[in-house]
Structure 1
């Protein structure tokens, strides 16, 4: 970090709604580059920062992959180690933003903050929100307050922890929230106002993700007899169960989940949207206490989508079963994580 000159902020573009324009065949698709996005925000001149750009991908958010984000994390990590940047802004599609931001937080260990943002309204719509989100993201990335906080998300001038942020509306410009915790702070009049910091920043994974791993995510629903669950479990290297409530499934699933947990890691999360899985309150067949006793791993306050990403990265780096349990323990899921 160079303290004698304005901070250097790298704006990385991945595509998404924020970069979309009309296509000849109808609708919109990613087409705008980094310089186009910056040109739409003349107020960036008021932010004390030197802004550089990197056009990394140009795809809808739904088409981003785990390997894309792994490559991006490696690129940013190398630049951070060289001391060539003070902050990073990543613009992308919102469909997967809550997942990619968390995945970056697992893979990137630099001190320069990474701020992920996007837009719910494309540039040709009235009230397009991309320019305002980009302005707030650059202000946050350039702020000394964000240094060392890892990966953050900015939307509608609100700052979120990558591990807590959720997309909770399909079209609203206030689609991003953090159920159960709320935002960490705001960007007001170009100034960062942090009210809290992330409670738990996971240590970055140092081993390369070279091992193929397919991790399934199965959602519990009323009347499901488990036949489709069995089919998924047979083809998975790891499995996340988005269970009812605090970690409950139909009693009929119990033998299958116990057998599966002997073969592959099975993580128990809640489909509720906020809150945590429990460890020892309910004791009926299919309860959290029963399932954890049969070898499942609790996700605690980590939602099913993010639990799948954590398990995937652990498997792809060759982490053994005990290491997987240790990685989930700080989330408040096991005997090691309680307290």
Structure 2
């Protein structure tokens, strides 16, 4: 039994600097500073990837890490841990989950307090992530996020606070398990899903998906010409999937040219399908050709839509996948 750990920088890997903390700690540094890790009896093979802030991560970089993680599994690893900054972790873990084909756990983690601060949470999160990655109880659950001794399914997790160490939550489902006294306890396993086709690297580089968040008195000017520059659009609508009535027709026109996915900007709960009937309601927009994003939050929907478009999925395929996963 062994675990591979890939370090991508972020708060967890930062150290002091005159102008503020910067990423300096290596994967070996991260694991050397974790009390109790050696006592697990699980060899951890460390790998440095890109010591960059998570704001600089890309689809291509994360898919490369997924490839390296898969190679580690094929080489005999019982599971894999990825450490990175938390700002984009909900999106990177979701992307990895879309394409991860293995039963062995792929576990993302990070930290909210850098190592120069009292109560730095990085060591505890690394320990928990390794415990999850090595646990038979975590097999077959897809990609996971281990943070603050909670275990979240990547398909449901959100970053919900800018500074709290309990920032990661799954508003629609709750954590699927916990790490208690070193024991991995899985309480609610997510249903299995078939991995999606990997995006074509060349298509991925040229596939652009916009995200438009509805705000009070939105005039929709930002949508003008969007179908000429982007291959898809995610709308973060009010409530259960509503937009100003004046934007219903323009969105319907866009949906006739590119896939447009309707999501909620609220952070939890679904887009409805047939409750409200006014112009600009969810019923009206779906009738105009928008796709229902269901429980997917806007950032997840954008990751999913871009992944599908870059894999050359047609509109029918995109509609089916969203219906299955939303």
| TM-score tier (shorter) | over 0.9
1:196 matches 2:183:
no
2:20 aligned residue: 27
The aligned length equals 324
Alpha-carbon distance in structure 1 between the residues aligned to 2:126 and 2:214: 38
1:68 to 33, 40, 61: 61
- The answer as to 2:139 corresponding to 1:153 is no
Matched, 1:284 2:274: no
CA deviations 1:62-121 (Å, max 9, x no partner) are 1111110111112222333x2421100100000000000000001221221100000000
User: Could you tell me how far apart the structure 2 residues matched to 1:185 and 1:48 are?
Assistant: 22
Distance in 2 of aligned mates of 1:32 and 1:260: 46
Aligned to 1:227: 221
User: Could you tell me the TM-score, scaled by structure 1's length?
Assistant: 0.93
Structure 1 equivalent of residue 129 of structure 2: 137
Cα pair 2:271 2:292 within 8 Å, conserved? yes
Q: Which residue of 2 aligns with 1:50?
A: 43
Q: Of 6, 9, 12, which aligns to 2:3?
A: 9
Query: What secondary structure, in the 3-state scheme, does the structure 1 residue paired with 2:224 have?
Result: helix
Q: What residue ranges of structure 2 are gaps of 5+ in the alignment?
A: none
Equivalent pair of 1:74/1:108 in contact (CA under 8 Å)? no
The alpha-carbon deviation at position 232 of structure 1 amounts to 4.0
Contact kept? 2:131, 2:182, Cα under 8 Å: yes
Task: Measure, in 1, the Cα distance between the counterparts of 2:227 and 2:163.
Answer: 34
Trace 1:163-174 onto structure 2 (pairs within 5 A): 163-174=155-166
Taking only aligned residues, the RMSD between alpha carbons, in angstroms, comes to 1.3
Residue pair 1:168, 1:175 contacting (<8 A) in 2 also: yes
* Distance in 1 of aligned mates of 2:268 and 2:39: 38
Gaps of 5+ in 1: 1-6, 333-339
